[in-house]
Amino acid sequence: MRYWWIGALLAVAQPAQAQAVFGLRMGTPTTELSLPKLQATDTYTVQVPQPQPEFDFYMVTAPPKIGLCRILAIGQVYKGPDAERQVLATFDRIKAAVEKDYGEGEQMSRRERDGRGWAEQLRADNGTFHSAYWPKGLSYTNYGISPDIRSISMDVKALSTGELYVVLRYEFTNVLECRALEKGSG
């Protein structure tokens, strides 16, 4: 009993468990992801262990040598005259949920009216007019974010005029290795 502090010290010294995103962890090998089939690229559509109702499907980047490095959650496509209001309401709900876990993100909205519809502006300018970003930084330490997560971002995208959806992206710290592979193969 004299050395109880050794056990306490060892418990504290253990590395923190990597945080699961939709039930998946950084570096998960492709063999554990239940991928539909091996593709020419390292990006796959997958069923995640913990899906969320705001998203219709999920894509991951997971090169065999690196494992899981990026998760994209793709939301429902909103169509018609009410699409802008619906997608912004969805964006706000998802942003509030992410902020609950990771703190306040940086938000950008460039929704100028120039005679075109909002979705048409998104498509024509190939940009994002409404986004939020949680960079790795001091605020993450206050909210208990996993050291494995490099960044989180969320964007409103347009498929076509009047068709809008939300994309939520998690990038793990090994994403730089994935990007290097992507540049090398392109």
Over the stretch 126-145, which tens digit does the pLDDT of each residue have?
Answer: 555 678 888 765 444 445 56
Report pLDDT digits (tens) over 108-128. Answer: 776 554 445 555 555 555 555
Contact (CB, 8 A) for 28 and 68: yes
> Can you give the pLDDT at residue 9?
28
Contact (CB, 8 A) for 116 and 124: yes
Report pLDDT digits (tens) over 79-92. Answer: 988 888 999 999 99
- Nearest Cα neighbor of 70 from 172, 180, 183 is 172
What tokens were used for 85? 């209001």
Q: Between 41 and 58, whose confidence is greater?
A: 58
List CB contacts of 152: < 8 A, sequence separation 6 or more. 98, 102, 105, 133, 134, 168, 169, 170, 171
Report pLDDT digits (tens) over 27-36. Answer: 998 888 877 6
Residue 175 pLDDT > 70: yes
Domain count along the chain:
1
> Which residue in the block uniquely carries the two structure tokens 């997560």?
149
Residue 32: domain span? 4-185
Contact (CB, 8 A) for 85 and 111: no
Q: Report yes or no on whether pTM surpasses 0.85.
A: no
